[in-house]
Structure 1
Amino acid sequence: MQETPMAAATEIEWMKLTAAELNARAESGALVIIPVASLEQHGPHLATGVDIVCATGVAQRVAHKLVAAGRPVVVTPCVWTGLAEHHVAFGGTVTLDFAAFSAVIKGVVRSAARAGFKRVMLLNGHGGNAEAVAVIGGECQNEFGIAVAAGTYWHLVGDAFAPILDRQSTVLHACEAETSMVMTLMPEGVRAERLAEAHGPHSTRPEGQPPTMIRRRSFKDITPSGVVGDARAASAAKGEALLDTASTIIAEELGSARLWG
């Protein structure tokens, strides 16, 4: 069935729009949101695509809120692999080096710029990508002459997740938060019979390492289960609340004219 003009006007996914429709979206000054994630182990109870599912889910919900507020936006497919060397020892993980990761993201942003878009948001959903995405976003802005912002979704919401969660204050790894969101977005990705095993330390830092100091370690040396946090308290209701909170806050942030001025 052919998409109606009205449906095209409210569609937010780049891959579901025609070239002509995307050209029109670019001419309208639409924001492009690029979800960025990773394909990696997520403990005994979660599918490896957690970060892809969550980053895409947050990005699409943000976009729908922006559209509802009259702001044009389009969401690309997720950049599905990132920097995940620290998960490789568990198996089930795909990782890139920084050069390849940077090249992929720059290729997508460059393509958006060549298609006429002037504003891009790199919305990251994997902790191991956070610093790299910020650096790449700045380089894209300088090289392509468009406005490029970058951020990790749970960093962007500040402490807003804390009241929703029982055993942690924000996203950790394969934890109460991520498991709850997967229960909402892709319930078939949760192995309920393995939830009893889905817990581990609540930090990746050894005693004495300050939060502002970065040193990556293999998760195999940090958590035998592959989990940081405690997924046993997860629920689909929490997942819905987390997704709604994140998308509401981030949509407001991205809707600010001062951000793009």
Structure 2
Amino acid sequence: MAPEIEWMKLTFAELNARAAEGALVIVPVASLEQHGPHLATGVDIICASGVAQRIARRLTTMGQPVVVTPCVWTGLAEHHVPFGGTVTLDFATFSAVLKGVVGSAARAGFKRVMLLNGHGGNAEAVAVVGGECQKDFGIAVAAGTYWHLAGDTFAPILERQSNVLHACEAETSMVMTLLPEAVRTDRLPEAHGPHSTRPEGQPAAMIRRRSFKDITPSGVIGDARSASAEKGEALLEAAAERIAAELVSPRLWD
């Protein structure tokens, strides 16, 4: 039987043993927010948790000790608030929550933590907080957004985009695999919008948050009409394979 990977399903003694053998702690980080007319608001929670658990299972088969915490389920989602159905934090609170989780892992004896982000609005903040945690707690802390870490592995799987957008072909496909009851298939014909959040003239490297309500009436960035559970399975496996390979690099943790 494969070792249990979920922190919440392990006893304190089992977690102490896992810490003693140098286990990596993966902390999924997400958001609770609108995802168009066809997806439940928990998409980022579903996907970040699903990717984290698949990475952990792959690491386990490679002989690497690992545990996955429950998802940090709310983040920075002010740009989705006008639609309704969205929960957001300010940066100070978000930072404090992440520091509380990472600090607790450090106090429990763990020396390596990966903050695995699954919400675009958190990306810069998670990187900043990861660096502060490393300084404050004296352990190795890495941070990244799963579709950035997956890199070019998603493009061959998708028909209408090259990576994750929002409530799009990619996210819809993964939710079809992980929690199909969170997809309103009768609303898929409405599930499309522009393929970028940037107006003409704004460089890709320049960040300026805008309300999604002003960008996409549907709440979707991309086109979910070609989504499928088969694509979702392929995306999840591609992410797990690429990110697990990245996390086993000894140089990452030196």
Q: TM-score category by the smaller chain?
A: over 0.9
Paired amino acid for 2:168: C
After TM superposition, the score normalised by the length of structure 1 is 0.97
* Correspondence list, 1:146-165, <5 A: 146-165=139-158
> Paired residue for 2:219?
226
Say which SS state the counterpart of residue 156 (structure 2) adopts: helix
> Paired residue for 2:82?
89
For the residues of structure 2 that align with 1:221 and 1:175, how far apart are their CA atoms? 18
Identity of aligned residues (%): 83
> Paired residue for 1:61?
54
Paired amino acid for 1:111: S
> Paired residue for 2:250?
257
Q: CA deviation at 1:104?
A: 0.2
Paired amino acid for 1:260: W
For the residues of structure 1 that align with 2:150 and 2:176, how far apart are their CA atoms? 20
For the residues of structure 1 that align with 2:153 and 2:55, how far apart are their CA atoms? 16
After TM superposition, the score normalised by the length of structure 2 is 0.99
For the residues of structure 2 that align with 1:223 and 1:160, how far apart are their CA atoms? 27
For the residues of structure 2 that align with 1:191 and 1:71, how far apart are their CA atoms? 38
What are the superposed Cα offsets for residues 44-69 of structure 1, whole Å, 9 maximum, x if unpaired? 00000000000000000000000000
For the residues of structure 2 that align with 1:159 and 1:24, how far apart are their CA atoms? 37
> Paired residue for 1:171?
164
Question: For 1:244, which of 224, 237, 241 is the aligned residue?
Answer: 237
Q: CA deviation at 1:160?
A: 1.1
Question: For 2:130, which of 130, 133, 137 is the aligned residue?
Answer: 137
What are the superposed Cα offsets for residues 204-249 of structure 1, whole Å, 9 maximum, x if unpaired? 0000000000000000000000000000000000000000000000
Gaps spanning 5+ residues in structure 2: where?
none
> Paired residue for 2:175?
182
What are the superposed Cα offsets for residues 127-159 of structure 1, whole Å, 9 maximum, x if unpaired? 000000000000000000000000000000111
Say which SS state the counterpart of residue 159 (structure 1) adopts: helix
> Paired residue for 1:3?
none
Structure 1 runs of 4+ aligned residues shifted over 4 Å read none
Say which SS state the counterpart of residue 123 (structure 1) adopts: strand
Say which SS state the counterpart of residue 199 (structure 2) adopts: coil
Say which SS state the counterpart of residue 151 (structure 2) adopts: coil
* Correspondence list, 1:32-43, <5 A: 32-43=25-36
Say which SS state the counterpart of residue 152 (structure 2) adopts: coil
Does residue 99 of structure 1 match 2:92?
yes
Q: How many residues align?
A: 254
What are the superposed Cα offsets for residues 4-55 of structure 1, whole Å, 9 maximum, x if unpaired? xx66xx0000000000000000000000000000000000000000000000
Does residue 26 of structure 1 match 2:19?
yes
For the residues of structure 1 that align with 2:233 and 2:150, how far apart are their CA atoms? 15
Gaps spanning 5+ residues in structure 1: where?
1-5
The two structures, once aligned, show a CA RMSD in angstroms of: 0.6
For the residues of structure 1 that align with 2:153 and 2:28, how far apart are their CA atoms? 21
